[in-house]
Amino acid sequence: MDVPTLNIAILAAGRGKRMHSEKPKVLHRLAGKPLLCHVLDTARALSPNKICIIFGHGGEVVRQAIGDPALTWVQQEPQLGTGHALMQALPYLGSEGATLVLYGDVPLTALSTLNRLLTVADGETLGLLTVELADPSGYGRILRNAAGEITAVVEEKDASSSERNIREVSTGIVVIPNRYIHGWLNRLENNNAQKEYYLTDIVALAVKDNVKVVTGQPERVWEISGINSKFQLAELERIYQKECANALLEQGVTLADPSRIDVRGVLTCGRDVEIDIDCIFEGDVHLGDGVKVGAHSILRDVKIAAGSAVAPFSLIESTEIGENCRIGPYARIRPGTRLDNDVHIGNFVEVKNSAIAAGSKANHLSYIGDTVIGKRVNIGAGTITCNYDGANKHQTIIEDDVFVGSDTQLVAPVKVAQGSTIGAGSTITRDTPPETLTLSRARQTSVDGWKRPVKKEKGEK
């Protein structure tokens, strides 16, 4: 890329009527991220001098959702076409360098594709991203003369029957030299079927002004796919997920079914990672060497060290997990949790904002919240740390080598000292001494002669 000063204008003013939603179109999510954020990530990777977003419907909602003060926001009201949209940004576009025009509902244009286009356009020529489609319906057609030079772009509604047979189309993505952009946009007219100012009409103006028009092409056709309906959104979601799955397979990850994985963020994997069907990865997830993730699990902002295994139907969020841990099935690990090496969290166990040291385990039906657990601790089935008093959260501390019997309630704040044993069925409200057995039970009694109630027959008094 050789553009000394690059501005990027993102057209994001469309209503998106076919989405049948109150949400602005560019905020609908692809792979867990708003469409506009995909475009912004690519734009930022080009290191532009300025990024200008032209918004329309739901503009304030869009601005709040994106929340980046470095962006320049310009409103288009009313919406009179793509050329009119870019006109609104003219006060923010200088006279040097070039402006790259992108679209907020075209989320998957590759960075490499845009770099190639910027390279051929070189800041002095008009660069168009074009593509040949088997079915060019809906796109503006590229018109060329006998020498193969581009002479204009004609929108489908204004094209003749012969022009509609042309398969090379304009994607709408263009690189415009800033020395010409003000003059060209101000010369646009709306003498067309839609009574709109078409940005593509600058091609004919460039030809008239003897400015060279060059083209670039994407590596894959779906890079230029725009989204106007939930059907198209779903189609592009599957394309995106297929690309993610293929990349993981190329890296050596074992996927039980490449068509049944969803990556909604960044997933990095070590060697010999295995992922079963219907798993979802959100945010930033790292799986170390030999990690296994069972079917139907959801991992969100998680780091799992080598050799650990997540059994099916587990939900893990904002957690660090050490080596050789065993999680699930049906485990829920909530934000703020840190598990050291060789920790076991079993079925129907919930852990929240807790640190569990090496070799400890909670294998069945327990809740551990706001707790620090030492090494080699056994948490019996049905154990609950009672961390919330109705207003504030309190901490439970369980030191090394503690054995907590089943059906125990630990009422925080409380400390269970090193080597303690808690008898099953106890409610612990005070700190326990080390290396002792602590019990808290009502006295067991048996009532002689007691008879279980008998259900009365219908109508019997």
Q: For residues 80 and 196, what is the distance between their CA atoms, to the nearest angstrom? A: 5
Summarize the confidence of residues 124-131 as an average pLDDT.
96
DSSP letter for each residue of 221-257: GGGG----SHHHHHHHHHHHHHHHHHHHHHTT-EES-
State how far the Cα of 118 lies from the Cα of 262, in Å rounded to an integer.
32
What integer is the mean pLDDT of 248-272? Answer: 98
Q: What is the pTM of this model?
A: 0.91
Interior/surface letters 362-395, b for 16+ CB within 10 angstroms, e for the rest: bbebbbbbbbebbbebbbbbbbbbbbeeeeeeeb
Look at residue 246 and tell me whether its pLDDT is greater than 70. yes
**Does pLDDT of 4 surpass 70?**
no
Domain boundaries, the chain: 6-224, 230-438
Say which CATH topology domain 6-224 has. Spore Coat Polysaccharide Biosynthesis Protein SpsA; Chain A (3.90.550)
Catalytic residues: 364
**pLDDT at position 328:** 96
Q: Is the pLDDT of residue 1 over 70?
A: no
pLDDT for residue 2? 54
Half-sphere exposure of 241 (CA within 13 A, CB side): 23
pLDDT, position 45? 97
Over residues 406-428, the mean pLDDT reads 97
DSSP string over 251-290: TT-EES-TTSEEEEEEEEE-TT-EE-TTEEEEEEEEE-TT
Element (H, E) at 184: helix 178-186
Place of tokens 């770099």: 115
What pLDDT is attached to residue 317? 98
Q: Which of 289, 346, 283 is nearest to 317 (CA)?
A: 283
For 230-438, the fitting CATH number among 2.60.40.10, 2.160.10.10, 1.20.1260.10, 2.40.30.20 is 2.160.10.10
**Per-residue model confidence as pLDDT tens digits over 194-245:** 899 999 999 999 999 999 999 999 999 999 999 999 999 999 999 999 999 9
**pLDDT confidence of 3, banded at 50, 70, 90?**
low
At 124, the pLDDT band (50, 70, 90 cuts) reads confident
Over range 413-430, report the average pLDDT: 97
Q: Which is nearest to 438 in space by CA: 392, 394, 404, 406?
A: 404
Query: 111-121 and 35-45 are packed helices; what angle lies between their axes, rounded to 10 degrees?
Result: 50
Determine the Cα–Cα distance for residues 184 and 460; give it in Å rounded to an integer: 95
Strand order in the sheet with 437-438: 254-255, 274-275, 292-293, 309-310, 326-327, 344-347, 361-364, 378-379, 403-404, 421-422, 437-438
Average model confidence (pLDDT) across the chain:
95
Q: Of all helices (H) and strands (E), which one includes residue 12?
A: strand 6-12
Residue 56 has pLDDT above 90, yes or no: no
pLDDT attached to residue 26: 95
Q: Which segments of 88-177 does DSSP mark as H helices, in order?
A: 111-121, 161-164
Write down the residue that tokens 């439970």 correspond to.
396
Report pLDDT digits (tens) over 351-399: 999 999 999 999 999 999 999 999 999 999 999 999 999 999 999 999 9
What residues form DSSP beta bridges with 127? 175, 214
Mean pLDDT (whole number) for 131-136: 95
- Token match 């204008």: residue? 9
Residue 461 has pLDDT above 80, yes or no: no
Helix (H) or strand (E) holding 178: helix 178-186
The pLDDT tens digits for 149-162 are 999 999 999 999 99
Using the structure block, give the residue that is written with the tokens 């807790």: 354
- Rounded to whole angstroms, the Cα distance separating 315 from 160 reads 57
